[in-house]
Chains A and B, each alone.
Chain A
């Protein structure tokens, strides 16, 4: 089966620092793929390359098997790839419906929309309400400003925006990092619901229990490249942690073995 989104041999250098060193990536239809890695492993560079925010120096990106070149986040969006950024990218003083449609507002049809550029505010509010309802997000009014929402509700609005416009992939960068236990659980539930609607999700997270709760596969990133892809069903959290710190490695035949020099700081290469 062709991956929905694929990266092959991606390289990105910043001066003498190599943030991506021949990284591979693949996302399959209908799955939640978690991307885990230590700080500085190059996860966010990988994700930015896939969402168009960073242009890789080398390597290929394929969408449904076709090679694409992203020159900015808008190009990725046009290919149906939506990203939920860690800081959510919501304008706090503006209302929910406005935020959902920010940058892609709908105008009224006919003369009002054409000559007078009149927005279809009622239509956008109804659509925002429909998407939130469908995802089971309980927010009473589409005209309340985002700053009146709790952290979890804001996250839900950002996720709903991505789910509403994403036609191929939703990428989420640390969606539970700023949330409490109950709100995290709701967001994880939301991720599951998006997958169940048929939209694959890439989840970047530091939180192993969250990863193991929701992910179908786990992509382990280390020193700028993918070192393993494992299933939460066949591997343990400790094994994943071992892989991402370099204490363990995946052999060619899929077994996990200990690396001789158990403590690898990343400073010794």
Chain B
């Protein structure tokens, strides 16, 4: 019989329970390094720009995190988002649809595509990698057919709303897109960590058989996650149009891998059931900071890719090491 009060765990236990802490420390370190090494990085304007540059991939990565938590992966997320931008832009430009209606239509298409992916994954029990690889190919092709070799400018004010900004304290530029991304991340942090739905998402990714025996409808839960991810990709399309008011069928070709990079750097396990969306937010910011900082330091684009790649492998390696004692 124990009379001990709940004891706070050791530091390493705390880090395991709160997977966003490690990436957050890494983010602070890279910011400090670039602030010291370059004169231009740690300025109000540049920091705002860094966050703006992380918005689209950051939003895609939020949906990607949900999918990866269920032990899945989504290679089609950026393609779905690009198709949504094309639909939104073409509908307003050529068919005169009002901006809000076009946005709803774009999000609806992304949602349906998420449902199709989830439906195939859960009903045919195919590996998500294969299903989303197929979806990537299909959706990319459909987008190009639909665009017919053109790109479509967006002039509608509502569709560009997320790119508009306010100045805090007279100089810090905050776009509405930043606010939306922050709200979405906080909302999903809450849903994943404080509601039964979230506990079930983790359980389904961690041990589907245990989840089933505990009375969780595993397939329904996974299907729901892909549908929610689809909605998020639709909102990412709005973010993309806010950043660049032009829908281009060839944009974001590596968006899927960039979003996976953000998730992995953020400490979420590709095996499912472990991780957090706050980690992913930090991961997306780390990638953006690294790119901006290396640019300010005068380092070539291709070397930035090398650095990002090393970071991905290091993040997964650290993850493996920290769990080595338990598995």
Bound form: Cα–Cα A107–B209 in Å: 24
SS of A interface (majority): loop
Task: Tell me the B residues contacting A by CB distance below 8 Å.
Answer: 1-2, 4, 6-7, 9, 13, 16-17, 190-191, 194-197, 199-200, 202-203, 206-207, 209-211, 213-216, 273-274, 326-327
A71 to chain B, nearest CB (A): 13
106-156 of chain A: CB within 8 A of chain B:
107, 116-119, 121, 125, 129, 133, 136, 138-145, 147-148
Bound form: Cα–Cα A98–B207 in Å: 13
| Interface assignment of A254: CB less than 8 Å from any CB of chain B | no
Bound form: Cα–Cα A181–B281 in Å: 47
B206 to chain A, nearest CB (A): 4
B201 to chain A, nearest CB (A): 11
Q: Would you give the 0/1 interface string for A77-111, flagging 1 where the beta carbon is closer than 8 Å to chain B? A: 10000000101111111110010001111010000
Q: Which of A74, A88, A105 meets B196, CB within 8 Å?
A: A105
Write the chain A residue with the least CB distance to B16. Answer: A145
Task: Known A-B contacts: A91-B203, A105-B199, A140-B4. Give 17 more (CB < 8 A).
Answer: A90-B207, A91-B202, A91-B206, A91-B210, A91-B211, A93-B206, A94-B199, A94-B273, A105-B196, A118-B194, A119-B194, A129-B6, A138-B1, A141-B7, A142-B6, A143-B9, A144-B13
Which A residues are in CB contact (< 8 Å) with B17? 95, 143, 145
What are 13 residue pairs bridging A and B, where the CB atoms are less than 8 Å apart in the complex? A73-B213, A77-B215, A89-B213, A91-B207, A91-B210, A93-B273, A103-B200, A103-B214, A103-B215, A116-B195, A117-B194, A119-B194, A143-B9
Q: Which of B195, B274, B326 meets A118, CB within 8 Å?
A: B195
Is the pair B209, A138 in contact by a Cβ cutoff of 8 Å? no
Bound form: Cα–Cα A93–B274 in Å: 7
Bound form: Cα–Cα A107–B195 in Å: 8
Query: Size band of the A side of the interface?
Result: 35 or more
Is the pair A91, B273 in contact by a Cβ cutoff of 8 Å? yes
Q: Which of A85, A104, A133 meets B213, CB within 8 Å?
A: A85
Write the chain A residue with the least CB distance to B6. Answer: A141
Which A residues are in CB contact (< 8 Å) with B203? 91, 94, 98, 102
Bound form: Cα–Cα A144–B214 in Å: 19
Residue among B9, B13, B210 with the most chain A CB within 10 A?
B210
